[in-house]
Amino acid sequence: MAFVPVIFLNDRTEVRRQYLPFYAVPPNSQINIAQLVVNVTFAALTGVVVANMSKRQLLWTAGVLAIAAAAATFMVVAGRAAITRALSDQDLARRLLQERNYAGAKQYFRNARVNWYIARNVSEALRINAEEKNCPESVPDKSLPADQLIRLQGTASLSKSGTLECTVYNASSWHVRTILIHVDVVDVLESGSPAPNQSKQRLVLSRDFRLGNQTYLDPLATVAFNQLVGFQPAPSQKFYWHVVSAEGQP
């Protein structure tokens, strides 16, 4: 009984109660006599019950208490982990909602709701459920009209590692998710023509590549697309590209 219940007296915002060693009670507090009497009475009654129990009953009681303590500890740990997951899921859901990824936002709102129920916080679970229901329905992406498509500008190149690197600036009024670009790689060969500067080009690669992100490319924003194409251009080869089509939301 070295620790006794203490009430702090000088806290005007809330009554603070905690257990401290009886020899370390600060001057701005007092011993909670009522709680101390309850504790002593409970300890005395527990001692009487234990003293009249057989060895087998003691073992069974100790086992039950150990299992209960383990279960309580597991519930506390699981609840804290569920709170961490719920907060992470709902933050990601709101970010996806801003990025117009409504299907992804709904999924993470559902995950957050389940974790709040695991944490036994029903009010938070109901609030997240309301946010999920307020999510707009996903709308399929549409092809950009020609007058908007020509406003997609940027640069592209093939690296020595065989990666197509494309940086696109969206000067249109649409939110773009995917673009389709056509790539031509030609080899410049000197011809046998009498004209010394005349050359002919041999087509080495001609392909379409679809590039996309999980998030939309907003108007007046820039994004870099990278895709491994497995082709490494030689020093004598030239690279040409242009945007064929794009999809997004107006």
**Residue 224: what pLDDT?**
86
**Residue 195: what pLDDT?**
47
Fold of 142-249: Immunoglobulin-like (2.60.40)
- From CA 247, how far away is CA 241, in angstroms rounded? 18
**Residue 194: what pLDDT?**
45
**Residue 137: what pLDDT?**
78
pTM above 0.85, yes or no: no
**Residue 13: what pLDDT?**
46
> Beta partners for 184?
206, 240
What DSSP state is assigned to residue 187? E
Three-state DSSP string of 106-131: HHHHHHHHHHHHHCCCHHHHHHHHHH
- From CA 4, how far away is CA 18, in angstroms rounded? 8
pLDDT averages per 10-residue partition of the chain, 250 residues: 55 52 59 65 67 70 71 73 88 83 85 88 88 83 90 85 86 89 80 50 83 81 84 79 89
**Residue 33: what pLDDT?**
66
pLDDT for 33-85, tens place per residue?
666 666 667 666 676 666 666 767 667 767 776 776 676 677 777 778 888 88
- From CA 9, how far away is CA 32, in angstroms rounded? 11
**Residue 245: what pLDDT?**
92
For residue 249, what are its two tokens?
Answer: 């939301």
- From CA 76, how far away is CA 218, in angstroms rounded? 43
- From CA 227, how far away is CA 239, in angstroms rounded? 16
Cβ atoms of residues 200 and 153 within 8 Å: no
- From CA 95, how far away is CA 106, in angstroms rounded? 11
